[in-house]
Amino acid sequence: MAAPWLAAIFVYPVKSLTPVPAASVEIAPGGSLVNDRRWAMVDAEGSLINGKRTADIGAYQYEWDGVSVPVVSPATSLIEDAIHGFPDDVDSPGPTVVSRATLAEVAGWFDGLDADAVCARLRPNLILDGVPAFWEDRLFGEPGVRVPFDIGPVRLEGVNPCARCVVPSRDPVTGAAIPGFQKRFAAMRQDTLPPWARRDRFDHFYRVTVNTVIPPEESGKLLSVGDAVRLA
C-alpha cells in the first residue's frame, strides 16, 4: 500500500474567504484547527455572508497579521469563535481531508480546471500525497462509526464523505458558474468510486473530501507538513 503523508495545510481565518497555507497548525480546544473559520462575516441583520449565499464572494478581501482581528474590505462586521470556529458541519468540526490525486482527478472532469483550481473550489484543510485518487474514502465506514487515523502525533476520526453545495461550481474570484457542474460531478464520482469506498454512504454522489472529528484530548497538539498518515 502507498505511504500517505501530509503535503499541505490550509487554514481559512475568515469563513468563505481565501486560505492561508501553514507549515504546521495547532489543534484548537473545540476540535478544529487553530484560527480555521475563526471569524465569519455578517450583514446588518446578523446573517452570515458566505459563498453559498453570495456568488461574488471573491469581491471580499482581507488582511491579517496572524494575531489581530482581520480587516475585511469592503468593510463588514465580523463575529468570532476562537474555540470552535464556524464549520459548515457542526457535528464534524474537524479539518476536511483530501488527496492531491483526488484534486487532479476531479480537475480532469472539467475543461479549464487544474488541481489548484479544484482545491480553491473545494476549500479543504489537509492535502495528502503519496496515494491514489480517492484514497481518503478509506477514512469513513458504516453509518454511525468513526474511522480513527493518525497524522503525525494527532488522532483524527473520519466521519463521512462531505456533501458539497453550490460553491464548487463557481469560480472563487469571479463567481462565474460552470453549467451542469453538479450533475457531471455526481456522474463522474459514481463512475470512479473506488472499491474501498462504502457505496451506502452516498445518498447522492455530489460528495468529496472527508469530514472529521478530533477528540478533545488532541487539543494543543501540532499537525505539520511532512507528517505520516496512518490508519489506526
CATH number at residue 220: 2.40.33
Confidence band for 32, pLDDT divided at 50, 70 and 90: very high
Q: What is the pLDDT of residues 94-129, one digit of tens each?
A: 999 999 999 999 999 999 999 999 999 999 999 999
CB 88 within 8 A of CB 123: no
Number of residues that make up the chain:
232
Q: Is the pLDDT of residue 14 over 80?
A: yes
Which domain range does residue 15 map to? 5-231
Average pLDDT over residues 45-55: 91
Q: pLDDT tens, 133-161?
A: 999 999 999 999 999 999 999 999 999 99
**How large is the average pLDDT for residues 181-187?**
98
* pTM for the structure as a whole: 0.96
Q: What is the pLDDT of residue 93?
A: 95
Give burial (CB, 10 Å; 0-12/13-18/19+) of 36: buried
% pLDDT > 70, the chain: 99
pLDDT digits (tens, 9 = 90+) for 58-71: 999 999 999 999 99
What total number of domains does the chain contain? 1
CA distances to 34, 123, 124 from 207, rounded to whole Å, are: 25, 13, 13
Considering only CA atoms, give the Rg of the chain.
17
200 three-state secondary structure = helix
Long-range contacts of 190-197 (CB under 8 A, 24+ apart): 192/105, 192/133, 192/134, 193/134, 193/137, 194/132, 194/133, 194/134, 194/135, 194/137, 196/137, 196/138, 197/134, 197/137, 197/138, 197/161
- For position 2, what pLDDT does the model report? 60
